Amino acid sequence: VAVEGTKILKVGSPQDLQKHFTGARIDDRFKDDVIIPGLIDPHVHMILGAMMYSKPFAPPWDVQTPKGVVKGLPDRASFLKRISEINAEHPGNQPLVIYGYHNLVQGPLDRHDLDKITTKRPLIIWHYSGHDFYLNTIGLAFAKVDASWAQRFHGVPVDENGELTGRVYEDAVFAFLNNTGAQFLSPADITRGFNGLEDMFARNGVTSVAEMGYGLFGRALEDKFYELLYGDDVRTKLYLVPEYRAFSREFGNEVIPTVFEHVNQTKADWPRVLPQIKLFTDAAFYSQTMRMRPPGYTGGQSKGTNGLWVMGPDRLTDIMGPLWRAGLDIHIHSNGDAAQDTTLAALKNVQYAEQPKDQRLILEHVGIIRPEQLELAKTLPVGLSVASHYVYYMGEMYKDAIGERVRYMTPLASSIKAGLVTTMHSDAPLAPPSPLTAASVHVLRSTREGGVSTPTEQLSRWQALRAVTWSAAWSLGLEDEIGSIEPGKQADFTILSENPLQTDAQDWPKMKILGVVLDGTPKPLDTE
């Protein structure tokens, strides 16, 4: 590869390039290694990741963190035992936040369970999804969550006696965080978690990521953290996609001009704001609150319901229309099959004759999507950015919640066959930001129990590698800049010890990552 400054000039054999560029400096430090396009994780959460990675973990399965692997707790007894241990390891009466609980694996949880562990301090258990919290009685008082919240919010349930269960989720979360933010956003914790997340990007050879929720925790606060923590010896480019609700709260009717203003202000800086916007149709996959067609949930904590809307059929077209007509690409959290119906119908409604040919809407996460929905999507300017880990963590367990409809879970092969540009993401911190591991899962369609989920959805190695390079760039509107090794693009590469196209997919997670080249500058990893 011939590189000048930050860009690729030409690709060819060493002999051809030396003839073409006489006098060029030859850097052959990677002559025995494999150079691939820089790996891209197109959907992560920097501040949320920093928050989670700074907390003690009690996860349902083994989780890779910046400090190493935290062992999974596969049942209710081991989970409650570990919560008691963590409580003892952190003496005192200060609030304690513990991340990682999952009800389908670790059983039901309410405030009475947590009161048995401690009544001396606020205890806050953070669900694996990031969308739910479970508090003991003193924790509810600390967060100022009382019976009136059950009238104001869907996400504050009561039991058969009309008493709070201790769960706070979805539409109640912003109010909850307003009252408890200091427990999640302390500068020391954010610094530790942010640095750990950046280290994980580097160790996994990730050259670009996109924060898919800029502003959710307060734009000014997030900007301050980026100013303090991001910028020295950048090893991973960070793009920001503004979150619609957050920008609406701050800027009211001026969301659209404000987004473009941020884009123009950051064109030469990092992190860089993209001319795009993030919307939500429904709720969370892991929490079993994504919106499903009837019969809805047949098990799990949402049994007997269809899940939740965030921006339902009555609102989504009205919200989407002005954003789309302004020329913003849209990323939309759209998880359940009912959500796909609503999202695709809204996009169909807002199409207009003069829209740019390259404008696109990206379905984000795509927990469940049916064949007829893929057929509709291919008639629209739509791509898919699929949560890479749903099938591995939940491909078998989710049968408890929705039965045989799991066969429609993240169907990447069907999506690609339909002609849709399809990428995958970690949604870090919900899974480690490791594109090669994610890609290998979808070549194998492997589950953590050792099975195979819907083998007809297995990808070829080529399709999987393209998904975490060129297709990831396309999902961010950056396919002319990154995602492949071609003249005119940025010289962003990931350096591997082996060629993934000649290596069995089950061995991809074990391939040694030797570093990256970012904008033409080699940044080797210390692999000792």
Candidates 464, 477, 462, 483; CA nearest to 37 is 483
CA dist., res. 27 & res. 2, Å (int): 10
Start-to-end CA distance of the chain, whole Å, equals 27
d(CA 56, CA 475): 33
Q: 303 is written with which tokens?
A: 């049994």
Q: Taking the domain 51-179, which CATH number applies?
A: 3.10.310.70
Q: How confident is the model at residue 80 (pLDDT cuts 50, 70, 90)?
A: very high
Q: Which residues of 151-173 are buried (b: 16+ CB within 10 A; e: fewer)?
A: eebebbbeeeeeebbbbbbbbbb
Confidence of residue 233 (pLDDT cuts 50, 70, 90): confident
Beta strands at 272-273 and 237-242: parallel, antiparallel or unpaired = parallel
pLDDT of residue 528: 47
Mean of pLDDT values over 7-29 = 95
* Average pLDDT for 310-315: 97
Confidence of residue 265 (pLDDT cuts 50, 70, 90): very high
Strands 7-10 and 2-4: antiparallel
Residue 527 has a pLDDT of 56
Q: What is the DSSP string of 369-431?
A: --HHHHHHHTTTTEEEEEETTHHHHHTTTTHHHHGGGGGGBS-HHHHHHTT--EEEE--TTSS
Exposed / middle / buried, residue 526 (Cβ in 10 Å: 0-12, 13-18, 19+):
exposed
Q: pLDDT band for position 232 (50/70/90)?
A: confident
Beta bridge partners of 34: 496
251-272 in b/e burial notation, b at 16+ Cβ within 10 A?
Answer: beeebbebbeebbeeeeeeebb
pLDDT in tens, 428-484: 999 999 999 999 999 999 999 999 999 999 999 999 999 999 999 999 999 999 999
CB 236 within 8 A of CB 198: yes
- The amino acid sitting at 479 is E
Q: What gap in Å lies between CA 204 and CA 433, rounded to an integer? A: 7
Q: Tell me the per-residue pLDDT of 322-378, one tens digit each, with 9 for 90 and over.
A: 999 999 999 999 999 999 999 999 999 999 988 999 999 999 999 999 999 999 999
Separation between Cα atoms, residue 277 and residue 328, nearest integer Å: 7
Q: For residue range 483-525, what is the model confidence (pLDDT) as tens digits?
A: 999 999 999 999 999 999 999 999 999 999 999 999 999 999 9
On average, the pLDDT of the chain sits at 97
Residue 11 banded pLDDT, cuts 50, 70, 90:
very high
Distances, alpha carbon 315 to alpha carbons 279, 321, 377, in Å: 12, 10, 20
Nearest alpha carbon to residue 176 among 108, 95, 253: 95
C-alpha to C-alpha distances, 411 to 114, 136, 151, 205, 424, nearest whole angstrom: 38, 39, 39, 26, 11
Exposure b/e, 80-116, CB count within 10 A at least 16 = b:
bebbeebbeeeeeeebbbbbbbbbbbbeebbbebbbe
pLDDT confidence of residue 526: 81
pLDDT for 354 equals 87
Q: Which helix (H) or strand (E) holds 19?
A: helix 14-20
Phi-psi region of 146 (alpha: psi -120 to 50; beta: other; left: phi over 0): beta
Cα distances (Å, whole numbers) of residue 447 to 61, 392, 466: 12, 4, 22
Does 147 have pLDDT greater than 50?
yes
d(CA 244, CA 214): 9
114-117 contacts, C-beta under 8 A, 24 or more apart: 114/83, 114/139, 114/166, 117/80, 117/83, 117/84, 117/87
pLDDT band at residue 4 under the 50/70/90 scheme: very high
What percent of the chain is predicted at pLDDT more than 90?
97
Residue ranges per domain, the chain?
Answer: 2-32, 51-179
Q: What are phi and psi of 395, to 5 degrees?
A: -55, -30
How far is it, in rounded angstroms, from Cα 478 to Cα 455?
31
Neighbours of 408 (CB within 10 A): 21
Contacts of 349 (CB under 8 A, 6+ apart): 317, 320, 321
